[in-house]
Chain A
């Protein structure tokens, strides 16, 4: 039974710090943190002054290399660990104080699935559902069946969970998050261990849930995953939030600084090509074998970007044989590398 999206009389205490910024955050964010900080024993900061705003109805990608503090942040949001400093509000209520009220409306997959190996898939779901005091035992069987079907595990529901493959465990973990209609789904690396087909199914599921109005908070170190399903994204590195906004804006950030993307010319005459391109104001030229890449002059430099067709004509006029010519669109990966100045595999 879908709970109405709890329109709470929002007499919630107006949090004093940082009140009245120039651009107020979108009304009623699903997740909002202020200076959220976690220091582990020894003083090492796992999360450092995080100000995160997740708008309602978004599919929010939480991006960062492994070990950058994503999971620690999620654990703080879910009330599993206490923040050292700062505050977090989930669905408008402070966490972890309001956990009992908030968490039944939140489905979570945190750092991979964890199951009782000696119980069947179905019994695992029964168990997690029984742990929720807001779950109606009368509808339990039906909801468990629906969740199993939704993740495509109905046929394997009677098998002991220890016999499941990693992908099946991941699906069962997702099913546990879908036992009730949720306002917010927190999915930490949901496609880990899945084959490409499984990944596609999960993405389809996320889109479907988002279409139903569920806000999805999706953490991943896979950039294309975020790019494919998310409307918003935040980038985290070494415990700090680097940037956040809509995916389009984030890509545009890079497009702005690089005018209209990076020009790539494939030619058997790279030296000549580079010379001609330089004459036409292309900067940051790089030559690799038969490829020449460079940044087009852009609005950022106060110049009018040249027409690509003219540029190509200039190359041909100068006797440069061109095999391929075009600009590469900036991907989230570019954004990421540019923002963090590092790869996205492991933080040092």
Chain B
């Protein structure tokens, strides 16, 4: 959505005032993606599929079949990578979703408000006047844009690496049926979308934490620490009863998009859960930010 709004804002020179307020969103997105930190995060995300691809290639080069995979949900695909490079997309997303992607989101979201407060630029944005609600929305929209861009970075890097190192061809789904490469790529795109949506909840948590402090580093560290804690809680069998309410619980459900027919149950639960987290922490962030004394 932000993309669409963006092009509108750029292409409407005679627009009335309501569209002018999109200038801040454009400024924010441009600024975020021009920062070295953002580019470094994207570079790391792009590097993961290359590493995985090269590792699989070396393993198979030694004549061993690709290792069986580590986790329960995702890397079932990893054995398929040698037959079809498209599977590197699925594998890479499964590898980056638990930590790399949400950590990157945590950095962007955690710094969003706290970083401005730390630098003192927050007071100048607010007297401009950016408007507190508007600024918060812009920050959240930018974080979500980063979710999408980050996920696509992983997917495209994986696709390029996969195409270079392995053959491409018909995609055999988890349920056994084969679909043409074109449809396989479409499914890959859908999976990237599902992964990006899985990050909506962490983004909201990061934004909320960012409104609590004037230290960008503290907000980032707290977000990432919380992520790791929750990921660990999600693996403890004793906590089974609360696990369905933890935001990463259904993350690996994106694999269900590789079934025929698509198995929607877990996916829907995931999106629902993310929406709840976004609503709860988004509201909390709004309540906090609109009443906070800006003394930095």
A residues adjacent to B (C-beta < 8 A): 75, 78-82, 99-100, 103-104, 106, 108, 110-112, 114-119, 126-138, 173, 176
Contact = CB atoms under 8 A, between A and B. Distances in A.
21 contacts: A75-B123, A75-B293, A75-B294, A78-B123, A78-B126, A80-B293, A80-B294, A103-B129, A108-B124, A110-B127, A112-B120, A114-B119, A116-B31, A128-B124, A129-B23, A130-B24, A131-B135, A132-B130, A133-B20, A133-B131, A176-B124
Interface in B19-49: 20-21, 23-24, 26-27, 31, 34-36
Max chain A C-beta neighbours (<10 A), residue from B21, B23, B27, B135: B23
Q: Which 8 interchain pairs have the tightest Cβ spacing?
A: A114-B120, A131-B128, A103-B129, A81-B293, A133-B21, A130-B23, A130-B27, A131-B130
Interface string B106-135: 000000000000011101111111110011
B110 to A, nearest CB: 18
A127 B34 CA distance: 13
Interface residues of B, number: 30
Given A78-B127, A110-B124, A133-B21, 9 more contacts: A79-B126, A82-B291, A82-B293, A119-B31, A127-B27, A128-B124, A128-B125, A131-B24, A173-B124
A80 B24 contact: no
Secondary structure of the A side of the interface? loop
B20 A116 contact: no
Q: Is the interface of B mostly helix, strand, loop or mixed?
A: helix
A190 to B, nearest CB: 14
A154 to B, nearest CB: 21
Given A116-B119, A138-B13, A103 B127 contact: yes
Contact of B27 (A78, A104, A126): A126
Given A133-B17, A133-B134, A134-B17, A80 B129 contact: no
Contacts of B135: 131
Contacts of B130: 131-133
Contacts of B123: 75, 78, 80, 110-111, 114
A179 B27 CA distance: 16
A80 B20 contact: no
Nearest to B294: A80
Contacts of B34: 118
Best-buried of A100, A112, A137 by chain B (most CB within 10 Å): A137
B295 interface: yes
A136 B20 contact: yes
A108 B128 CA distance: 9
Nearest to B13: A138
A126 B13 CA distance: 17
A334 B130 CA distance: 42
Contacts of B134: 133
A135 B21 CA distance: 9
A64 to B, nearest CB: 18
A176 B24 CA distance: 15
A123 to B, nearest CB: 8
Given A130-B26, A133-B20, A134-B17, A99 B129 contact: yes
Nearest to A104: B129
B126 A118 contact: no
A176 B174 CA distance: 58
B288 to A, nearest CB: 13
A106 B131 CA distance: 14
Interface centre among A82, A103, A110, A127 (most CB of B within 10 A): A127
A114 B124 contact: yes
A224 B279 CA distance: 54
A136 B119 CA distance: 26
A137 B24 CA distance: 11
A104 B124 CA distance: 12
B20 A135 contact: yes
A134 B36 CA distance: 31
Contacts of A99: 129, 131
A131 B27 CA distance: 8
A80 B121 CA distance: 12
Nearest to B131: A100
Nearest to A126: B27
Contacts of B24: 130-131, 133
B128 A118 contact: no
Given A75-B295, A110-B123, A114-B119, A132 B31 contact: no
Given A114-B119, A137-B20, A108 B291 contact: no
A82, A129, A131 interface centre (most CB from chain B within 10 Å): A131
Contacts of A75: 123, 293-295
B139 to A, nearest CB: 12
A21 B23 CA distance: 46
B128 A128 contact: yes
